Structures are given as C-alpha cells and as structure tokens.
Amino acid sequence: MHKVWYDLGIPPEACAIIGKEAQLIGPVENPDPDDPLTELEEADAAFIGAVFPAREKATYERARKLKTLTRLGIGYDSVDVQLATDHGVCVLNTPDAPTESTAELAFGFILDLARNITNSDKTMKAGEWPKVKKQRGFELVGKTLGLVGLGRIGGRVAEMARVFGMRVVAYDPFVNEERARQMGVELLKDLTELYPLSDYVSLHLPSLPETNGMINKETLARMKEGSFLVNVARGALVVEADLLEALQSGHVAGAALDVWAEEPTPPDNPLRFLENVIATPHIAGVTLEMMLKSITVATRDMLMILRGEHPPNLLNPEVWEKRRRD
C-alpha cells in the first residue's frame, strides 16, 4: 500500500478518504520531537502545510522514495518548485478547495470591522458596558469594496458584497471587462485608482516578487482616510511596520489579518495588540469542508501520478518525463 506522509491536522472524515487508498504516516501519527521528518524516508507522497521544509535540498535528498508533494490549498509559495523538479518530484496543489472558506472569512472580517464585533465582545468579557459612541459602526450598504485580485476567492467575495448592497471595484490584469461586468464589478485599469475609492481594501493575490510588499507606506497613504484593510492572502504582501504606523496614526481605521510576514508571527508583534486589528492565525482554510475537498482532490491526483497518469493540478509539468518512478 502507498504511504502518505503528512504534517498537519486532518480530520477523521478526511483521513478516511486517504485510508481507502494509502497508509498515513508522519509526525501526526507517530510524533518524534527529535526528528519530525523521521518517516518521510518511507513516503511515496506527502500532503503538507506551510511549515514543511519544501525549500530545502536536504528534504528531497532524504526522501528518496517521494514521488509527489501536495501543498493543500491554492498557495504554494512555501515550496521551491524548481528544486522539487530537479529531484524528480511532482508538485501539486488543490486550487479550488479553499475558495468558499477563505471568501467567507474575508467577508466575515469586513462585517466585523464595520460593526466592532470583536472589540465589543472583548469589552463585555472584561465586565464593561461600552458607550455607544465608542463602539459605533457602519452599515455596508453603499460602501465601496476594493478587491486587489479577482480570481476564485476575490470573485466570491465580490458576490457576497453585492448581496449587502456594496459597490465593488477591482484591479486584476488577468480579468477582462466582460468577466468583471458579469460579476457586477467595476474593473479598474490602474491599481492606484483603487485605494482612494475604497472604504475596504481586500487582498486576493499570490506572493510573488512583484506583489510582495505592495501594501507599504506609499500605498497606505493613498488609501481613503478611515478605511480598512483585509488580508487573507499572504503576509508578504504587506509591510507590517508601515501598516502599524498607518493604524496608529488613524489614517487606516482598522485591519483584519489572517496571514503574516513570518508565521507563526512573533509573540511581541505589535499588530497583535492593537484594538483596531483583528488578528487570526492563518485560519482561512481551516474548515472541515475545505479539508475534505482538498484531501479528495489530493488523493485523486496522487494516485494518478503513482499510476503514471498526468494529473490536472500538476504545477511543474516539465518534471513529467524525468519524474521519480518505482
């Protein structure tokens, strides 16, 4: 039976899907604090999260039986795809699985920022009955949501926002005007137009050299006074020191951050303690439904590779002719 190594929590319902086809091994099943990768040497495949050392040469040299590596979810910036290719390892992801879960969290953040839900809860638990003025919020109807990225997740957030009566504008050079019009979204030709128009700016794009650090002192200054920032995409998109300054000055009224420049983010990161920041530990895809969808697709694609069939979500097709085989 094929052996699948994994290093993240997989609910029993998802384990059952894999268990029909393969044996699960790894630190979740057999923890070894001295060497969490101890069983990787026996694995035919690996299902991994963000902390797996997929950018280290030693990992691939150690795991000589490894034929396929699946980064559950859409983002795979934690994997050195070229390095995996050089070692004959097929790299996969599950791009459709996190759409609904991530979009729901993003829009939940927008609602929370608008109505001070998290802060109201904190003050009530502290025994206070906060004055209405301190907790005064905003209605979303008529407000403008600016989406940086209009792919799977951004498009779903746009759909939710329109139900709440929001105006939705977006910047995405890979989406044409007809597609945006079908979604009820105003497509902007220049990203700089989006910031001063938006009451809420929500990020939905990958971590790339050209996108990392895009939310910085300059772009934050362009944002509308009193607007809000939501990031459920990648922490590297935001220069955290610049965001901290914008939040402390009040120019940016609040932010909701599920992703961080360094994960786990340091315990003393000052963004964690600001009252106008909602901070969560990268939970956008942490739902049962997302995991079931991811595992179903990952298992299907893994088995296709092990049978010698070309899977639909292969991120390094150039590896195919030189891939590892039994």
Percent of the chain at pLDDT above 90?
Answer: 87
| 265 & 216 share domain | yes
| 214 & 156 share domain | yes
- CA-to-CA distance for 184 and 244, rounded, in angstroms? 33
| Short-list 195, 196, 185, 200, CA closest to 137 | 200
- CA-to-CA distance for 189 and 180, rounded, in angstroms? 12
| 182 & 304 share domain | no
Q: Pairing between strand 200-203 and 144-148?
A: parallel
Is residue 134 pLDDT above 70, yes or no? no
| 70 & 105 share domain | no
What's the confidence (pLDDT) of residue 242? 98
Mean pLDDT of 31-57: 90
What's the confidence (pLDDT) of residue 133? 62
Is residue 315 pLDDT above 70, yes or no? yes
Mean pLDDT of 285-299: 94
| 88 & 233 share domain | no
Is residue 234 part of the annotated active site? The answer reads: yes
What is the per-residue pLDDT across 14-24, written as a single tens digit (0 to 9) for each? Answer: 888 888 889 99
What is the per-residue pLDDT across 87-103, written as a single tens digit (0 to 9) for each? Answer: 999 999 999 999 999 99
Query: Given 167, 204, 282, 324, which residue is catalytic?
Result: 282
Percent of the chain at pLDDT above 70?
Answer: 98
Is residue 131 pLDDT above 80, yes or no? no
Whether residue 86 contacts residue 319, with contact meaning beta carbons closer than 8 Å, is answered with no
* CATH at residue 192: 3.40.50.720
Query: Given 128, 263, 275, 318, which residue is catalytic?
Result: 263
| 306 & 265 share domain | no
What's the confidence (pLDDT) of residue 15? 87
Mean pLDDT of 208-225: 97
Is residue 35 pLDDT above 90, yes or no? no
Residue that finishes a domain, picked among 279, 295, 313: 279
Give the range of the structural domain holding residue 31, as residue numbers without chain letter: 2-97+287-322
What's the confidence (pLDDT) of residue 9? 82
What's the confidence (pLDDT) of residue 36? 85
Cis? peptide before 264, omega within 30° of 0: yes
- CA-to-CA distance for 63 and 224, rounded, in angstroms? 50
Is residue 276 pLDDT above 70, yes or no? yes
| 70 & 192 share domain | no
Is residue 110 pLDDT above 70, yes or no? yes
- The side-by-side arrangement of strands in the sheet containing 186-187 is 186-187, 167-171, 144-148, 200-203, 227-231, 252-257, 277-279
| 71 & 184 share domain | no
Is residue 21 part of the annotated active site? The answer reads: no
Tell me the CA distances in angstroms from 29 to 6, 41, 221, 309, one per residue in order.
9, 15, 49, 29
Whether residue 201 contacts residue 178, with contact meaning beta carbons closer than 8 Å, is answered with no
Is residue 282 part of the annotated active site? The answer reads: yes
In 10 A of CB 161, how many CB atoms? 24
Whether residue 316 contacts residue 91, with contact meaning beta carbons closer than 8 Å, is answered with yes
What's the confidence (pLDDT) of residue 34? 81
| 128 & 256 share domain | yes
Q: What is the 3-state secondary structure (H, E, C) of 19-56?
A: HCCEEEECCCCCCCCCCCCCCHHHCCEEEECCCCCCCC
Domain count, the chain: 2
> Which has the higher per-residue pLDDT, 34 or 170?
170
Is residue 280 pLDDT above 80, yes or no? yes
Is pTM beyond 0.75? Reply is yes
Q: What is the 3-state secondary structure (H, E, C) of the chain?
A: CEEEEECCCCCHHHHHHHHCCEEEECCCCCCCCCCCCCCHHHCCEEEECCCCCCCCHHHHHHCCCCCEEEECCCCCCCCCHHHHHHCCCEEEECCCCCHHHHHHHHHHHHHHHHHCHHHHHHHHHCCCCCCCCCCCCCCCCCCEEEEECCCHHHHHHHHHHHHCCCEEEEECCCCCHHHHHHCCCEECCCHHHHHHHCCEEEECCCCCCCCCCCECHHHHHHCCCCEEEEECCCHHHECHHHHHHHHHHCCEEEEEECCCCCCCCCCCCHHHHCCCEEECCCCCCCCHHHHHHHHHHHHHHHHHHHCCCCCCCECCHHHHHHCCCC
Is residue 294 pLDDT above 70, yes or no? yes
| 21 & 145 share domain | no
What is the per-residue pLDDT across 233-268, written as a single tens digit (0 to 9) for each? Answer: 999 999 999 999 999 999 999 999 999 999 999 999
Q: Give me the chain's average pLDDT, please.
A: 95
| 275 & 291 share domain | no
| 109 & 219 share domain | yes
What is the per-residue pLDDT across 149-193, written as a single tens digit (0 to 9) for each? Answer: 999 999 999 999 999 999 999 999 999 999 999 999 999 999 999
Query: Given 87, 156, 204, 234, which residue is catalytic?
Result: 234
